[in-house]
């Protein structure tokens, strides 16, 4: 028996998420079509068809992500009829929203929701087995790399001067941090004006910012933005959408309320490097003459 999740305060995509008797999550294609504002099932099937092809092109088994089912649904007066539906994995939903009508405002929300969920799963696989310090360093490197990619996308959209980039970055932070800018974050945490705020973030907060960066870049490129004001607006919207996902769907901690680590990333990196160098040093036992 499939059970729906509590949708109070959640995005519409979390509200229609279901869990089967084996504990696996899935989404009903018909429910997703309604959320995405597709009134014609046949039109939505065209989008599903594109998503299936994208799934195949990515080397995935379509059957693992798109499960065709027939269900009996009520049509009034106690009567029921057989209706075709498709049980979708998170990845299938991600592909569907990527191929849906970009003019629909809810589609942008869906692209953020499913992309963040998918990226979280990928990162969980990548950091499995890492120490806490290694996880933080990994995430800091990811933020550095994706910040470059976001800056390039912003430049293509007309964000060219250093002041432009500062304004653009602050708009993203404003959305993610509930109205705070980089300066506000530094003041709140007692950091100097020259401090890079990302160097004093823990793994979770860095992850929040990584999701913002990835989705902002994807949306700028997907929509072909060529206007600086529009780029700023989109960055703030994406930041707010990621914040909503964290707070309402995951019931997580807002990034501004996460604790500031006791050490900067540079201090952690130096300690990790010292540890690795120590492991590479041969022991005194190995240096001894075996024939002595």
Higher pLDDT residue, 277 or 110? 110
Q: pLDDT at residue 282 above 70?
A: no
Confidence (pLDDT) at 47: 97
Q: Mark which of 47, 76, 94 sits at the end of a domain.
A: 94
Q: Is residue 151 part of a domain?
A: yes
Q: Is residue 36 part of a domain?
A: yes
Provide the mean pLDDT of the chain: 89
Confidence (pLDDT) at 284: 52
**In which domain, by residue range, is 39 found?**
3-94
Statement to judge: residues 223 and 257 lie in one domain? yes
User: CB of 212 within 8 A of CB of 172?
Assistant: yes
Q: pLDDT at residue 155 above 80?
A: yes
User: CB of 235 within 8 A of CB of 171?
Assistant: yes
Confidence (pLDDT) at 115: 83
Q: Is residue 292 part of a domain?
A: no
Total number of domains in the chain: 2
Confidence (pLDDT) at 134: 93
Interval 231-271: pLDDT, tens = 999 999 999 999 998 998 888 999 999 999 999 999 999 99
For 14-75, the DSSP string reads: HHT-EE-TTS-EEEEHHHHHHHTT---HHHHHHHHHHHHHHHHHTT--GGGTEEEEEEEEEE
Statement to judge: residues 109 and 244 lie in one domain? yes
Q: Is residue 16 part of a domain?
A: yes
Lowest mean pLDDT among 98-102, 211-215, 271-275, 287-291: 287-291
Q: pLDDT at residue 272 above 70?
A: yes
Q: Is residue 63 part of a domain?
A: yes
Interval 165-198: pLDDT, tens = 999 999 999 999 999 999 999 999 999 999 999 9
């Amino acid at each position: 028996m499939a059970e729906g999740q509590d949708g109070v305060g959640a995005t519409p995509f979390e509200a229609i998420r279901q869990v089967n008797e084996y504990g696996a999550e899935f989404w009903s294609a018909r429910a997703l079509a309604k959320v995405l504002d597709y009134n014609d099932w046949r039109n939505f099937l065209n989008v599903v068809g594109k998503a299936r092809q994208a799934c195949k092109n990515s080397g995935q088994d379509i059957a693992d992500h798109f499960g065709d089912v027939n269900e009996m649904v009520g049509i009034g007066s106690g009567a029921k009829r057989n209706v075709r539906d498709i049980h979708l994995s998170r990845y299938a939903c991600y592909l569907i929203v990527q191929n849906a009508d970009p003019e629909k405002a809810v589609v942008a929300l869906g692209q953020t929701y499913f992309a963040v969920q998918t990226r979280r799963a990928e990162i969980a696989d990548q950091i499995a087995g890492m120490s806490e310090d290694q996880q933080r360093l990994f995430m800091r490197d990811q933020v550095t790399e994706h910040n470059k990619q976001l800056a390039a996308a912003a430049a293509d959209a007309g964000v060219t001067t250093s002041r432009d980039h500062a304004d653009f970055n602050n708009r993203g932070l404003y959305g993610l941090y509930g109205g705070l800018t980089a300066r506000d974050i530094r003041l709140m945490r007692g950091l100097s004006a020259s401090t890079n705020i990302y160097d004093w973030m823990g793994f979770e907060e860095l992850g929040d910012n990584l999701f913002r960066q990835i989705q902002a870049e994807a949306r700028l490129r997907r929509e072909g933005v060529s206007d600086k004001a529009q780029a700023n607006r989109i960055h703030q919207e994406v930041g707010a959408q990621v914040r909503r996902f964290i707070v309402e769907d995951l019931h997580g901690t807002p990034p501004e309320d996460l604790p500031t680590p006791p050490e900067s990333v540079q201090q952690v990196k130096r300690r990790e490097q010292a540890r690795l160098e120590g492991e590479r040093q041969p022991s005194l036992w190995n240096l001894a003459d075996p024939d002595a």
